[in-house]
Amino acid sequence: MLPEALERAVFGMYATHALHLADTHGVLRFLLGRDGTSAAEMAAALDLDEETLTRLLIALDALALVESTPSGYRLPDSMAPFVDPASPRHIGGFVHHLVHGAAARMPVLDDYLRRGKAAVDAALPPPFDTIYATEQSTAAFLHAMWQLSFSVSGELAALAGLEDTTHLIDVGGAGGAFAVAALERAPHLRATVYDLPQVEPHLAATVAERGLGERLGFVAGDFLRDDQLPAGDCFAFGYILSDWTDETCLALLSKAYRACSPGGRVLVMERLFDEDRRGPLATAVMNLSMHVETQGRHRTAAEYTGLLARAGWTDSRVARSSQDKHLVVAHKP
């Protein structure tokens, strides 16, 4: 018998793919609200091969993602919010990104170990050029980011305390997950998503769907190349700084400082390493993913407060959410 940690590492590939297949083919959705269903019943209802589905369910049961009972398979109550497509915490889009995006790029780590990232990536286009290369890849990425961010964004907006904020600039805000959550919590607030032009039609659909009208705007731009950011009194960086080197982060935070009104603030929302950098697990493995998919890394809260101070921001504080994404707030005097 393998040690539990080693067993989890060895068979993790199968676990991720099993979860993805169950989500993609509606197996988990079918189990929502049901006390017990046989593999044969599910196969008939979903038009799936019974033998393959049975093997998939056995694996999911061993992983504790479903439960086998005398009356059939059921979904543990704790899983429901994460596998229900109607839930803001649904992770199907993120798992799809892991299987079809991140996993395909992981073998490059072998080259990185032997030659270094800079040498291997020298002839490649910038990572986000690839992500935004087609409408399909853009939509898939924005969907995954929405699923990763929206459910926690309301909590982060509350932790930020936006009562005195008038104009939020969501830098690299993608589909507007944080901006939407902030607007829904603060009726007086206006927000602008500042991102690449490819994002605009996706944000426009969200604005229409959420009925945000004139309150949520869009400014097309490239925060790496543009000298100035749109002006506002609160700047949000959600899962942005972890994509970039310390030098680039410092440049972005400095641009935000210059564009921010006196008395305004900046919100850095990221996964945070424990100060000893031994965890959490999700941050540690996503730090490896950052190395493959971006030019950045995950950091400790102290590393972010240090970058903020170097850019001129003061009075930093850390506020932790109940999920994986946390908040570092700093102010402009």
Q: Taking each helix axis from N to C terminus, what angle separates 200-210 and 177-185, rounded to the nearest 10 degrees?
A: 30
Cis peptide before 280 (omega within 30 of 0): yes
Contact call for residues 117 and 38 (beta carbons, < 8 A): no
Q: Which residues of the chain have pLDDT under 50?
A: none
CB distance 202 to 142 below 8 Å: yes
DSSP state of 37: B
pLDDT at 308: 99
Task: Give tens-digit pLDDT for 181-221.
Answer: 999 999 999 999 999 999 999 999 999 999 998 899 999 99
The DSSP bridge partners found for residue 273 are: 300
Cα atoms in the Cβ-side hemisphere of radius 13 Å centred on 183: 24
Contacts of 230 (CB under 8 A, 6+ apart): 169, 192, 194, 219, 221, 259
145-331: CATH superfamily = Vaccinia Virus protein VP39 (3.40.50.150)
For residue 228, give the 3-state DSSP assignment. coil
Question: What pLDDT does 299 receive?
Answer: 98
Characterize 13-50 residue by residue with b for buried, 16 or more Cβ atoms within 10 angstroms of its Cβ, and e for exposed.
eeeebbbbbbbebebbbbbeeeeebebeebbeeeebee
Domain borders along the chain are: 4-83, 145-331
Which tokens go with 214? Answer: 């004139």
Q: Do the strands 216-220 and 272-273 form a parallel or antiparallel pair, or are they unpaired? A: unpaired
CATH class assigned to 4-83? mainly alpha
- The pair phi, psi for residue 164, each rounded to 5°, is -100, 0
Which pLDDT score, from 0 to 100, does residue 64 have?
Answer: 95
Question: What pLDDT, on a 0 to 100 scale, did the predictor assign at position 213?
Answer: 87
Tokens for 31, please give them: 């189990």
The pLDDT, as a whole number, for residue 131 is 83
* pLDDT for res 97: 86
Whether the domain at 4-83 and the domain at 145-331 fall into the same CATH topology: no
